[in-house]
Structure 1
């Protein structure tokens, strides 16, 4: 069953993760999100959902302002000819819509194997910001708590320098 924003935030609270959520208008790109980041502490993210030619799924989470070269990234994560996951696959695998891609979607992963990749440089920051399953809010947590959440969802992430 697909989690709601409220259910996600309850999970975070129940497992002892300190978090702050800021509501804002719907955003669909990193650029749009940047317009609503004033007053939100921490770094912001870019979240990419890929499927490769072997049908392996990847959720890559990095810094919002980091340029990504898909071919270089593919080598680093072991993906063969990756392409962005289509909206129907995004909903099926992560239970979210385009514009809402987030590592918090690990709470929705049930039927698919999705490799979660976290950028080591992003994880070196004090606070991280992600959509709480919807693109009308931003939730701030500490990097260690992101790991704790992912492990709670049985998704041990790979941390690499992207």
Structure 2
């Protein structure tokens, strides 16, 4: 039997909804374009549902180490990832994927809906954010706005500024060739 996920953040509060997030963007004058679509659970799903674009498509990994420290890794969708190598690059021993409940408690989303925008729900600032160097040159990024039935397109700098406004710094993840 699948584990029941309690829909609340680590402090017991409700996570921000996709609608409220997009309202925040509108009220703050943050330029974005959001489209509705069928649920996208994987990169393969996303590629089937969208118009091809040469840049800015992401995949997101919410990982932790043995001590319980957590990271959100936002990577180019075609990046092949060795979790041991990624852990070494950020200065820890080993990564494993965080549980669905931990994902809800810290980022306020379910699997398939993770994106840098989820950091708005990390109210204690416990998640360290890394972005793939390949995405740092993309003029626009395509991310889920807290739900996997929508995709929001934003200028990269607007997204990074928003992430910073949540109290999170963007570290660049550089993979060796």
Whether TM-score is above 0.5 comes out as: yes
Structure 2: give runs of 5+ residues left out of the alignment: 1-13
Q: Distance in 2 between matches of 1:120 and 1:36?
A: 25
Of the structure 1 ranges 124-133 and 103-112, higher mean CA displacement relative to structure 2 is found in: 103-112
1:124 aligns with 2:164: no
| Structure number with larger C-alpha Rg | 2
**C-alpha RMSD over aligned residues:** 1.5
Q: Which runs of 5+ in 1 are unaligned?
A: none
Match 1:134 to one of 115, 124, 147: 147
Contact 2:65–2:95 (Cα < 8 Å) also in 1? yes
- For 1:6-155, list aligned pairs within 5 A: 6-38=19-51, 42-111=55-124, 113-155=126-168
Partner of 2:10: none
TM-score, normalised relative to structure 1? 0.93
- CA shift at 1:78, angstroms? 1.6
Q: How many residue pairs get matched?
A: 162
